[in-house]
Structure formats: C-alpha cells, structure tokens
Amino acid sequence: MKKVLITGVTGFVGSHLAEYTLNEMPQVEIYGTTRIRSRMENIRDIADKIITVNSDLKDYTSTMDILSSIEPDIIFHLAAQSFVPMSWKAPAETLDTNIISTLNILEASRTLPKKPRIHLACSSEEYGMVKESELPITEKNPLRPLSPYGVSKVAQDMLGYQYFMSYKLPVYRTRAFNHTGPRRTDLFVTSNFAKQIVEIEIGRKRNIKVGNLDTIRDFTDVRDIVRAYWLCVEKCEPGEVYNVCSGVGRRIKDVLDGLISLSDICSKIDIEIDKKRMRPSDVPILIGSSKTFTDRTGWKPQIPWEKTLGDLLNYWRERLK
C-alpha cells in the first residue's frame, strides 16, 4: 500500500482529491491533516475511509511529528489561506500561513529517511498583471502578483524550486487556473452566484449581487484539477512547474448567464452591482496554456462546463434544502 498525505483534506480541493484517490487508486492509504474546529462537512461521506490527523502546519514540530509518524510516499499540500479578497484584509496571516506551512513541509520532508514526493498547488494568481499580448499564459510568463495571496503563492512556488535545487527533494509544482465545482464555498464567484440563484429558486432572495462581470477567467472543473495533480506526481519532472487550465476564457457575465439558464428563475432577474465586491487590483483577462502539462501527461479537461455549473447548482439545492 502507498501512503498519501493530503494537507487541507477538509477543504474544497482536498476533499475532491481524497474522493478521486479513493475511487481510482485502490492501492493507496489516505491520510489527511485537519485543524481543531475544521468543518468536516466536505469529507462526511468518506470520513470512515480516510485517516485524519489534527495538526498545525505553521508549527514545525507539529509538521515533523505528522510526517515522521505517517512516512508518506506522496504529499499533496493543499492547506492554505486560499481566498484572494481575504488576503488584502489579512495579508500577514495569508503570507505566514501559505509560506511557513510550505516551508515546514519541505524542511521536515528533507530530513525523513524516505523522501516523499511533494506536490505544491501553486496558482495562476502568481501571474497577476498579464498583458493581452502575453495570452495564453505559459509557465515562462513574468510573475506580477496583484494580491498578497498571489505573493504568497510566488513564495511557495519559489521555495519548491529552491528545495529541489538545494536538496534534490522531489517537488512537483502546478499552477492551476480558476477551478470550481460542488463544495466550492460561496466566497468564490461561481459558487456565490450559484448559491444566490438557488436562494431565488426557493424564494429567499429577489435579486443577485455581483462584482466585476467583465473579467475573463480560465475555469476548469475541480475534478479535472485533482486528476491533474495525480498525473503530475506520476508523470512529470520534479523541480519543474506546469500550468493546469482549460485554455478557454469565460467572461464572468457568461458564467452568471450559464448558471441562470440552468435554473428555472426568470432570466430578467435583477442584477445589482456591489462595489464591495471589487478588488483593489485585478487583471481583466487571464487565460492559460497547459500545453507543457498536456504534452507530458496527455491530460485534458473532461467534464463539460454545463455539468460543472449544474453540479454546483445541485450542491446548493441540496445544502439549502
């Protein structure tokens, strides 16, 4: 049996990765880190099939304890402060959480007798300010992060590179672009829209509040993303970095229209611009190229966009029942 440790297993991506691993990798034992008071809802259905361990990854001793007792073959490091707008409100917390937890995992791993393969979930937010002439964005694009979250992910990304170079630690880095699907919290735009639409469906709300509808983003279903993370540690080069994205640009307005079209609410529903939803700095268009990754692994998104949106609506219909 192979041992896999998923940090942040109760989170959006972590729970999907655990599920995917359960379904597709019968020879794998799944460990996951949680924190005291973690919401366990996302892993409710699989709780008896994985082993969860309480830890604080910002504390080296705690991280080392977990790694040396589990001795994982592979670590998927997903625990993070991942909500971009929060990073302007709590920049020190965001930088500290995202950078120091990564450092502790790398430091602890390099001292283990058997070095685990480590996947770092870096982010398209590292690219930040992208020029239209640079689209679609490859891994070679300059990094010009526009949020403290983006900065924290650059530091995580560079740490992964540096630990590979300094210690030959097998670190695999991906930069995933936007991803969504069931269990995304309503802090994120697609899920927030889906929730508001379901609230209208059940008569709890009359209109939809939105931020900037003109930005264009490259969305992938989270279930395609976690499949990519596995392919990365299995088929990619340690020390290298790979974009993971669909290559398709979707205007946020079209995402909203897509969700509305999958609902029976009136398409003339009131849409209200909410200034508080605007960011201090944002980039109008972000579309990636995952050519390097696809050439290496054969990966391509498989889940149609309409299914992603439909499943997201159903998730909220179930939760708000």
Contact footprint for a second copy (CB under 8 A) = 60, 88, 91-92, 95-96, 99-100, 103-104, 107, 128-129, 140, 142-148, 150-152, 154-155, 158-159, 161-162, 165-167, 280-281
Q: Which is nearer to a second copy, 60 or 83 (CB)?
A: 60
CB of 165 to a second copy, least distance (A): 4
* Closest listed residue to residue 173, CA positions, set 185, 181, 165: 165
For a second copy, the closer CB: 136 or 148:
148
Asked if residue 238 has a cis previous peptide bond (ω within 30° of 0), the answer is no
* CA distances (Å), origin 297, targets 229, 235, 244, 291, 305: 11, 6, 11, 10, 22
For the bound state, the minimum distance from the C-beta of residue 80 to a second copy, rounded and expressed in Å, comes to 15
Task: Supply the minimum distance, in Å, between the C-beta of residue 131 and a second copy.
Answer: 13
Nearer to a second copy, 108 or 176 (CB): 108
| First-residue to last-residue Cα distance in the chain | 40
Which CB atom, from 279 or from 307, has the smaller least distance to a second copy? 279
CB nearer to a second copy: give 142 or 284.
142
Check: CB of residue 126 under 8 Å from CB of residue 143. Answer: yes
Question: What minimum distance in Å lies between the beta carbon of 161 and a second copy?
Answer: 6
User: In this complex, which beta carbon is closest to a second copy, that of residue 153 or of residue 183?
Assistant: 153
Find the shortest distance in angstroms from Cβ 158 to a second copy.
Answer: 5
Contacts of 259 (CB under 8 A, 6+ apart): 190, 193, 194, 197, 309, 312, 313
Residue 150 CB, nearest approach to a second copy (Å): 7
- Burial zone of 281 (CB within 10 Å; 0-12 exposed, 13-18 middle, 19+ buried): exposed
Both tokens assigned to 306: 């309409």
Query: How far apart are CB 241 and a second copy at their closest, in Å?
Result: 10
DSSP-derived secondary structure letter, 13: H
Do the bridges between strand 216-218 and strand 249-251 make them parallel or antiparallel, or are there none, so unpaired? antiparallel
283 close to 130: Cβ distance less than 8 angstroms:
yes
One-letter amino acid for residue 171 of the chain: V
In the complex, what is the shortest distance from the CB of residue 59 to a second copy, in angstroms, rounded to a whole number?
10
Between 138 and 314, name the residue whose CB sits nearer to a second copy.
Answer: 138
Q: Which is nearer to a second copy, 2 or 168 (CB)?
A: 168
Which of 151, 173, 220 shows the shortest CA–CA distance to 75? 173
207 in Cβ contact with 189 (< 8 Å): no
